[in-house]
């Protein structure tokens, strides 16, 4: 749930850019510290935020795990 909350903040059009970067930092740390979370549940919860949220959050997880820059 915490990952989805950070994802929601990072993708919000109302959040300031500097806050999105702080959220991205938190998101990346959570992904790296908790490698065994349920990806299907994460995608399902993120899909409640917007239609492609599930696909997008899993892509951000992939980027976080491989050290790529998250596209905010």
The chain-wide mean pLDDT, for the chain, equals 95
Q: What is the pLDDT of residue 66?
A: 96
The count of other CB atoms within 10 Å of the CB of residue 19 is 12
Q: Is 19 a domain residue?
A: yes
Residue 72, pLDDT score: 83
Domain count, the chain: 1
CA distance 7 to 53: 9
CA 45/CA 68 separation, integer angstroms:
23
User: Is the residue at 24 inside a domain?
Assistant: yes
pTM of the model: 0.91
Structural domain for 26, as ranges = 2-66
Could you give the CA distance from residue 54 to residue 18 in angstroms, rounded to a whole number? Answer: 24
């Amino acid at each position: 749930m915490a990952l989805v909350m950070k994802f929601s903040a990072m993708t919000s059009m109302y959040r300031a850019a500097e806050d999105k970067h702080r959220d991205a930092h938190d998101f990346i740390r959570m992904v790296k510290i908790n490698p065994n979370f349920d990806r299907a549940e994460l995608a399902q919860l993120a899909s409640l935020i917007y239609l492609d949220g599930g696909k997008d959050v899993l892509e951000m997880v992939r980027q976080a795990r491989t050290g790529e820059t998250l596209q905010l």
